[in-house]
A = this chain, B = another copy of it.
Amino acid sequence: MAGSTFGNIFKIASWGESHGKGIGVVVDGCPAGVPLTEEDIQIYLNRRKPGQSRFATPRAEDDVVEILSGVFEGVTTGTPISLIVYNKTQRSSDYSEIASYYRPGHADYTFDRKYGFRDYRGGGRSSGRETIARVAAGAIAAKILQSLSVEVHAYTKAIGNVEVDMEHFNADEIFQNMLYMPDSDAAKRAEKLIDEKRMQTDSVGGVVECVVSGLVAGMGEPVFEKLDANLAKAIVSIGAVKAFEIGDGTKVSKAFGSENNDSFMADDEGRITKRTNHAGGILGGISDGSDIVLRAYFKPTPSIFKEQRTVNREGKNINVNIKGRHDPIIVPRAVVVVEAMTAITVLDMMLMGMTADIHRIKRFFDDLR
């Protein structure tokens, strides 16, 4: 079954393994007329690159994107945009041992059961390098959204038990610390936690929050293709995400209706907004004009240096010490991935949202004549 294709109108097909020739993505359904350069995409890719901080793996990666098709004289043509990032040559020997057993918390076992065998080099298709394709495609979606006055921004909300104090939220701070946290004080405490866990040869998880602003009301489809349902799929499809929230998320289960309902208000021009935004910008699966607010909860990196119990391919119980270079945290690198998947989903649903009303459709085709 084809599992590496995502989206309906703005559709992406991702490919590549961690230790194969490269990672790439084909963006099929990108509108024509969008100015696009490799630089536009590279900026996003650099945000997920490791080696930028002491919290990421020290591998000297250099993920340079190349546009292979779909752009002519600096502008998208409407035909598929093929993007490639070549993998740098790496010694596969680092990973040869893991072929023989199943790493806890990884997809080794499930791939073996699904396909009968697997590409064991560095995780193969289930490696985090797969997110290069998501981010590259997301950069294009984000650029188009900007031209439609929609902005998508993500940041680290929490690392382990260190949470950002939303009273001290400072957007400018996000790119000032290695952890992409909008609160310098929390960032410092989180750094300390990560250092501590690294010393203990352990790892830690965290939370990424993403805000979509400027989206017109009316996007998302009733029943199954709700905007939040599609965002949930997009976000949970990111490796290591174990929970998804929209608006107040899990908290709503303990709230009362009188607290949780956002009342509407109109300004002097009759422009309607909501007094609060517990709903996270979505009512009945359709955008209501407020900010979309979502959160992704990431598990701690499964690759740790501690001794662990597991089973080898022969079905024997063994103890293992997994070698290699491990991140004690993947959350900071995942921030741009959440942003990318959100952008792709929102753009796709905006394009799908153009056919809801016959009067708008008529106007569209009248303009073409």
- With beta carbons under 8 angstroms apart, the residue of B26, B33, B257, B283 that contacts A116 is B33
For residue A45, CB closer than 8 A to chain B, the reply is no
For residue A350, CB closer than 8 A to chain B, the reply is yes
Give min CB distance, A10 to chain B, whole Å: 7
One complex includes copies of this chain to the number of 4
For residue A102, CB closer than 8 A to chain B, the reply is yes
Q: Which among A48-56, A123-131, A166-174, A175-183 touches the partner chain? A: A123-131
- With beta carbons under 8 angstroms apart, the residue of B79, B242, B361 that contacts A351 is B361
Cα of A32 to Cα of B119 in the assembled complex, Å: 11
Contact B125 A77 (CB under 8 A): yes
List B contacts of A362 (CB < 8 A): 147-148
Known A-B contacts A2-B11, A232-B233, A352-B9; the reply to A254 vs B286 at CB < 8 A is no
Binary contact track A107-133/B, C-beta < 8 Å → 1, others 0 = 101110111111101001110001000
For residue A1, CB closer than 8 A to chain B, the reply is yes
Contact A77 B355 (CB under 8 A): no
Contact B287 A69 (CB under 8 A): no
- With beta carbons under 8 angstroms apart, the residue of B223, B260, B272, B275 that contacts A3 is B223
Give min CB distance, A344 to chain B, whole Å: 10
Contact B105 A262 (CB under 8 A): yes
Which 6 pairs show the lowest CB-CB distances between chains A and B?
A107-B284, A3-B221, A270-B315, A2-B29, A203-B257, A3-B225
